Amino acid sequence: MMESGRNSLAVRDQVLRPLEEAGLRNFHFKTWLTAGMGFFTDAYDLFIIGVVTTILTPLWHLSTLQLMLLNSSALAASVLGALLFGRLMDRMGRKAVYGIEALLLTLGALASAFSVNFWMLFALRFIVGMGVGGDYPMSGVIMSEYSNRTRRGFLVNAVFALQGIGLLVGPLVAFILLHSGVSASLAWRIMLGLGAVPAAAVIYLRRQIAETPHFAVGVRGDVKAAQETVERLTGSAVPVSETVSQLPNRASILFQGRYLGTLVGTAVCWMLLDMAFYGNSVSSGLVLKSLEPHGSLTANLLTSLFIFLIAAAPGYWVSALTVDRLGRRFIQILGFAVMAVAYGALWLVPGIAERPQEFLLVYAVSYFFIEFGPNSTTFVFPSEVFPVTVRGLGFGISASAGKAGAAIAAFVFPLLLVHLKLAGTMGLLAGVSALGAVLTAVLLSEPKGKTLREASNEYHLEEEIAPHAASS
């Protein structure tokens, strides 16, 4: 039985080796675009609701509670979406599920533009959130499983980097609409409806994507299917005719031994990051309003756009271009640490909240290191560090923890600004960021340069359970 386990291990390695060692090819960039357009949509949809609720507050006479619910509904739904799609992709396969989450995004965004009251918009934003949540494990894992060993960090990070473009387009669209003469009652509907366009554009591409070789040979034991896909993509012959045992697909693997600590690290760090990031992003209008009480909506939009342009968007790509050299762990610790220092300065420096230029300079620095650091790396880590049988679920749990933190932050951020004021709120975020740096250092190890099976300790898992699978 142990010999069967060793043979299966060797066969899987032989089938997957050309994929791991291939240079960057056209299929890498096609997969990147197919996966990344979802994140463009995610960022656009999650940002634009902050502008929409600002417009709707006087039109629909929204209460503070209704404002909080609308800002956080999609984020709360994304918790469920990440868990659901994460487990489905492990049970049914990557190909069987991919594209359904984009369909939810499309239908939810389009229908939300025709909302007639608060509860209808709330329910449709929930559907959008399910699609957003599902997109995280689906796109992250698929890109990781199609990547090569040396540039996996770049490719997975580059998928997520399209979020930065969505963060730029959101305020830009809002600014253009509000200055084009379009009435406020129509402008918010156009803002929401436009979120359907990029998601709809990739539904077909996602449904056509082939099953990943890692899933085919690792979960289904289908050597032939994996072999054919690897040969077609890389042009390398894979002369393997042996069969392999099918590995058990048990969720409990994640809660045992070394994987439990890793799961706590990926999930809690993502939660802490999203508390800081989404509290600021979704409520950026409120932050700027606290800083400039008499500033107009359009002035605040321009300020947000400027910060995203000079700080946030470059941060994503600097991270993507350096993550395979500097390492995920180093970048995540550095990002959290600088966030803690920046937020601490906004909290402790006397009177900085009354000096907008100084405040915004430090605020922009924090944004760069959010995007360069943990906002990118918390997406990369869970795509690599869990074995193929539970990779979707491990990613889904991590992403859902992040979105839970984001939903909590978006829900309570308006109250924090009222009760703790701007400086006190920044002090709270400083503590959250410092904790993220500590947990990263203690719980997460570095996967750069390793094959996906090495990074996820899949060899150890296979040697433990393959004999049992072969005897069943």
DSSP output for 100-157: HHHHHHHHHHHHHTT--SHHHHHHHHHHHHHHHHHHHHHHHHHHHHHS-TTTHHHHHH
- CA gap 247, 215 in Å, rounded: 11
Report which DSSP code applies to 309: I
Confidence of residue 469 (pLDDT cuts 50, 70, 90): very low
Separation of alpha carbons 312 and 174, rounded Å? 18
pTM for the complete prediction? 0.87
**Taking 90 as the threshold, does the pLDDT of residue 266 lie above it?**
yes
CB 83 within 8 A of CB 394: no
Find out whether 64 and 414 touch, Cβ atoms under 8 Å: yes
Q: List, for residues 4-27, the tens digit of each pLDDT value.
A: 444 677 888 889 999 999 999 999
Instruction: Quote the pLDDT of residue 3.
Output: 42
User: What fold is seen in the domain 2-471?
Assistant: Growth Hormone; Chain: A; (1.20.1250)
Domain boundaries, the chain: 2-471
d(C-alpha 212, C-alpha 202), whole Å: 18
Cβ proximity of 215 and 88 under 8 Å: no
What pLDDT score was predicted for residue 99? 93
Residue type, 208: Q
Is it the case that residue 471 has pLDDT exceeding 50?
no
Q: Which residue, among 9, 8, 2, 4, has the nearest Cα to 451 in the 3D structure?
A: 9
Q: Distance between CA atoms of 217 and 225, rounded to whole angstroms? A: 8
* pLDDT for res 313: 85
pLDDT at 79: 92
Question: What is the per-residue pLDDT across 413-440, written as a single tens digit (0 to 9) for each?
Answer: 777 777 888 778 888 889 999 999 999 9
Contact between residue 201 and residue 34 where contact means Cβ atoms under 8 Å apart = no
For residue 392, the model assigns a pLDDT of: 97
| H helix or E strand, kind and range, residue 221 | none
CB neighbour list of residue 451: distance below 8 Å, 6 or more residues apart: 16, 20, 149
Q: Give the span between the Cα atoms of 380 and 385, in whole angstroms.
A: 9
Rounded to the nearest 10 degrees, the angle between the axes of helix 257-282 and helix 284-291 is 50
* Tokens coding 342: 């920046």
Poorest-pLDDT segment among 143-147, 414-418, 445-449: 414-418
Judge whether residue 303 has pLDDT over 70.
yes
Q: Which of 298, 248, 283, 246 is nearest to 410 (CA)?
A: 283
| DSSP 3-state of 420 | coil
pLDDT-based confidence at residue 245 (cuts at 50, 70, 90): low
Tell me: pLDDT of 351 over 50: yes
The predicted pLDDT at position 139 comes to 94
Nearest by Cα to 76 from 40, 49, 103, 114: 49
pLDDT digit string, tens, across residues 359-394: 778 778 888 999 999 999 999 999 999 999 999 999
Give me Rg for the CA atoms of the chain: 22
Beta carbons within 8 Å of 58's beta carbon, 6+ residues apart? none
Residue 58 pLDDT exceeds 70: yes
Backbone dihedral region for residue 245 (phi beyond 0: left; psi -120 to 50: alpha; all else: beta): beta
- In Å, how far are 101, 138, 230, 280, 404 from 396, measured between CA atoms? 13, 9, 26, 23, 12
